Amino acid sequence: MVILRKRVAGLSESALERFVARAKRAARLRGTVNVLVTTSRELRVLNRRFRGKDGPTDVLSFPPIFGLGKDFAGDIAISADIAAQNARQLGHSAADEVRILTLHGVLHLAGYDHERDRGEMASREEGLRNTLGLPTGLLARNQQAGRESLNRRVHQQELRGARPMRRSR
């Protein structure tokens, strides 16, 4: 089930339902996935309640609670506000950004964990991004942004005459 509590230009509940089905099939995820597209305020509340982090985030995934059966894969919550902001900055539609975040959530529900898997989720996300026709992948662009940020900091230190910080490999 998809609930668009906050509307996203160019995206209907039925269109997102179809995308969820395609993403689940591509990720080999079985069971029902519920997707809530809502405000940053609501994502902040969920982030604080379930992760102990007091701030909004773009996407959260909630795997099923044991005992609910094999027909339920989990829930995904997406901030329409952050999706729209990211889309403007990256030059694609807010609808595409919601799909990018949905794919990311589906992969988490399929058992991937980018904080621990040494690039396995990023690789899978990139492959599925191509299969599903998405303009970018969340992890690939976050890694690129991290490298660019590090390069800017090193360059700024060099301009100030400081020794550049060491890059970890």
Q: How confident is the model at residue 165 (pLDDT cuts 50, 70, 90)?
A: very low
Q: How many domains is the chain built from?
A: 1
How far apart (Å, rounded) are the C-alpha atoms in residues 112 and 127? 14
DSSP codes of every residue in 71-114: TEEEEEEEEHHHHHHHHHHHTS-HHHHHHHHHHHHHHHHTT--T
Determine the pLDDT at residue 130. 86
Determine the pLDDT at residue 102. 95
Predicted confidence (pLDDT) at residue 138 exceeds the cutoff of 60:
yes
Determine the pLDDT at residue 75. 94
Q: Name which residue leads in pLDDT, 142 or 71.
A: 71
Query: Does 122 reside within a domain?
Result: yes
CATH code assigned at 134? 3.40.390.30
Tell me the residue range of the domain where 108 lies.
Answer: 2-159
